[in-house]
Amino acid sequence: MGRLAPRALLLAAVLAALLAPAPARAARVIVALGDSLTAGLGVAADEAYPARLQARLGREGFDYRVVNAGVSGDTSAGGLRRLPWVLRAAPEVAIVALGANDGLRGQNPRATRENLERIVARLRRAGARVLLAGMHVPPNYGPEFARAFAAVYPAVARRASVALMPFLLEGVAADPRLNQADGIHPNAAGHQVIADRLWPHLHPLLRRAGAH
Q: H or E segment at 65? A: strand 64-70
CB distance 39 to 10 below 8 Å: yes
What residues act catalytically? 36, 182, 185
Residue 166 per-residue DSSP state: S
> Residue ranges of the alpha helices (H) in the chain?
7-19, 36-39, 49-60, 76-88, 100-104, 109-125, 143-160, 188-202
Backbone angles phi, psi at 9, to 5 degrees: -65, -40
Task: Give the C-alpha distances (Å, rounded to integers) separating 9 from 41, 49, 79, 201.
Answer: 13, 20, 16, 31
